[in-house]
Amino acid sequence: MADLSRKSARPLSPHLQIYRPMLTMMMSIVHRITGSALYVGTLLLVWWLVAAAAGPAYFEVADGFFGSIVGQLILFGYTWALLHHMLGGIRHFIWDFGHGHGAEARELLAKGTLAGSIVLTILVWIVVIILR
């Protein structure tokens, strides 16, 4: 059995204070955050659907919330989180097939994920505003 009283010669695991932040590392963190945010946004979506099924009075409350400035900002953020998380998943799918592991390809995919999510979010909202 190993002597646990001795100081281990193994190095400690590095942490965020040691590593220099890189775009791919930040995108990984944002991917996890957007995944968590999607749970909250989905609960709001369920609230809206339940209110629609419950009747006009309940739906008016939910629709009034989502029609407010705060509600619109939440919906905009939810749209961005959904699209960013989706594009991050596609980026990981590409990596799963063994592509995009080089330094330049990783940076390009990370930048594409960020730019693509912003552009797609704006396009979705332009279409929604036009169709209203």
**pLDDT number for residue 132:** 87
- Would the pLDDT of 4 be above 60? no
Residue 121: count other Cβ atoms within 10 Å of its Cβ: 19
List, in order of start, the domains of the chain with CATH numbers.
Answer: 23-131 (1.20.1300.10)
Residue count (the chain): 132
> pLDDT (tens digit, 9 = 90+) per residue, 100-117?
999 899 999 999 999 999
For the chain, the straight-line distance linking the first and the last C-alpha, in angstroms and rounded, comes to 71
CA 11/CA 58 separation, integer angstroms: 58
Mean pLDDT computed over 92-105: 93
Residue 76: count other Cβ atoms within 10 Å of its Cβ: 14
pTM above threshold 0.85: no
Residue 101 among known ligand-binding residues? no
